[in-house]
Amino acid sequence: MSKLILSVAVVMERLKLSNPWQPYRWEAQGVIPDGAAPGTAPRILMQDGERLQMLFPGFQLALHRSEAENYYLNLSTPTPKVFIAWRPQDELAAPWLVTVSYGEAARMMDASEQVDAVAMPPDIADWVGDFVNKNYQPEPRKKIRRRDPLREE
């Protein structure tokens, strides 16, 4: 088994700012398991005068064996994260990729993409943990032999 997929939905929030140059700010708030088909239309979860929360369903969180070390590094932190890449689109912030790989998130940020990190839900952490346990074997540590300039050869 080299790849697993879990359907998730992304919650994005728009906060009103008291700034004449930037009237609001978007940020990812979380991910939840979801059974919607890819391409399902986003919907409003909550709206008042200060904020708007929207649900963007139909994303595929895919795990690949080649990224297993990055999943392991993510899970070994005190607070594992899900990384959400999004772009402004009209008046919305449209997520386009969801990942749990540190490496993939870093590559997107290096390419100047907007990436937000949210806390990984426990059920997703368990799913990723099972994948890591089955597909990742840490490299054995190698003893480093330092050159001693005073040693006779």
pLDDT in tens, 55-84: 999 999 999 999 999 999 999 999 999 999
Over the chain, what is the mean pLDDT? 90
- pLDDT for 131 equals 95
Mean pLDDT of 6-15: 94
Mean pLDDT of 141-149: 75
Q: What is the pTM of this model?
A: 0.85
Task: Render 21-82 in DSSP notation, one character per residue.
Answer: S--EEEEEEEEEE--PPTTPPPEEEEE-SSEEEEEEEEEEEEEEGGGHHHHHHHHTSSS-EE
